[in-house]
Each structure stands twice: as structure tokens, then as C-alpha cells.
Amino acid sequence: SNSEQTHLHSWPPLSLWALSTSAGRSRPPDPCPMAHEATMRPWDRRKGTRRSLLRAVAACTALVVAALAYAPPAVVFSLFSSGAQELTLEAADAMASASLAEAKARKFGEISVFVVDATGRVLVSKTMLGCPRLIPSLAHAKAGAAIGTHSSSRALKDKYVPERTPQLVAMTNIANANNQPFCAVPGGVLVRDRSGNVVGAIGVSGAAADEDEHCAIAGARAVGLVTEPAESVLKKVR
């Protein structure tokens, strides 16, 4: 009725806005945002600050993920978290592929490659189709010997054979009893970063022992890692 309409228009503007929002319409633009900001409660300001920080973090995360997706393995390996350096899955995969490529290029026998991290966990294993069934286990054991003693499997053989062979046999038995593959035959190479930190090991088996070691060194160097031994015996001969 007319009396109701007159009564409605006599309400203050704030009441009109309350009716509009209750009817589902959006709030009109604030005519004085600075004044509104000054009257905001501290809790409202904190919520706005948190939203801004979350947006910034999300944008930075998206940029990092996009950069890693197109970065080469050597670059990916150099990116670490919390100061603790770890061998990445991408770098381990590149190491194994480089070892296989080296064996093919030099026409060595069919090989198997295992790459483990600093804890001995297998990150990547690759085996040529012509390898006998025992070969992958030997490659794993060579990598396990290297990471388990922080030395190359060749260094273990040279240290204990022949004078201290019983001690090496005991070490092998203890490792196997604790489900830690262990084989002191050349082909297990310890890998470090440029600062000297142990980040993992690579084991190769299937070709001659010196050839296995050569392929392991080639794989680790393909992603910029420092190896023990530093040089391949085959390279020294040349």
C-alpha cells in the first residue's frame, strides 16, 4: 500500500542495504574505501593479509614447478630443500640411461644398472633385455657395497683380497643377513656432490668388471657428480 511504501522510504540508507543483501543482491561499491579500511577490525585485516600471502606463495610454487619441468637433470639435481642434498629421481634416471648408452657405444656386453640414494634406497634400475637373471642382483649388490661402506666396490676388493678375504666374507654375510645387497667386485661407484657430500651410488654389472665400472663412472659424470674412483681404469690405459 501507499502507506507502506512511504514508511519504507523513510528508513535510513543502511537499512535499505540490509534488505538488498538479504534478498541476494551484492553490496554496492564502498564510496569511501579508505575510511572503511580504517574502521576494519584487526581480525579482518589479518584475514586479508593471509589471503595475499597465500596468493603470493601459490604463484611462486607454480613458477618453480614450471621451471623444474623443463630443467635438465644436472640442474634439477642442484636444487635441494632445507640444505640437505639428495639425489633426485630425474638425475638418477639420467645416470642409468647414460650408463646404458656408454655400454652400447663401446659395444660392451648387456648390462644392468642400479642407482641408489644416500640411504641405499633404489631410485632407478634399468636392465638390457639380453642380461641373464642374476646380473641385476649383482648390479644392485655392487651399488649396495659402495653406499654401505662409502667406498667403491673396487676399493673394497683391493683392501681385503687376498690377505683379508675372511673379513670381507664376514662383511658380506652380515650385509646379506640384514637385507643389504653387498658385492665387492668392480662396478659399484660411490657418488658425491661438488661439496664432497655422499648422495648415492651406482652399480653396473653384465660386462667385464672394468667395463662395468667405466659405465658407472660415465653415468654419474653425465649429471655432474664426483665419483669414487675418480677415473675409469679403461681411460687410464689409453
With residues binned 3-state (H G I as helix, E B as strand, rest as coil), the percentages for the chain, rounded to 5, are 55, 15, 30
91's grid cell: 638425475
- Report pLDDT for 57: 75
- What's the whole-model pTM score? 0.66
Cα-based distances in Å from 236 to 142, 210, 229, 231, 232: 22, 11, 12, 7, 6
Closest C-alpha among 171, 113, 173, 177 to residue 142: 113
pLDDT value at 108 more than 60: yes
What is the Cα–Cα distance from 153 to 216, expressed in whole angstroms?
A: 11
DSSP state of 138: H
pLDDT value at 224 more than 60: yes
Burial (Cβ within 10 Å: 0-12, 13-18, ≥19) of residue 6: exposed
Rg (CA), the chain: 32
34's grid cell: 579508505
Higher pLDDT, 66 or 10: 66
pLDDT in tens, 168-214: 999 999 999 999 999 999 999 999 999 999 999 999 999 999 999 99
207, 103 in Cβ contact below 8 A?
yes
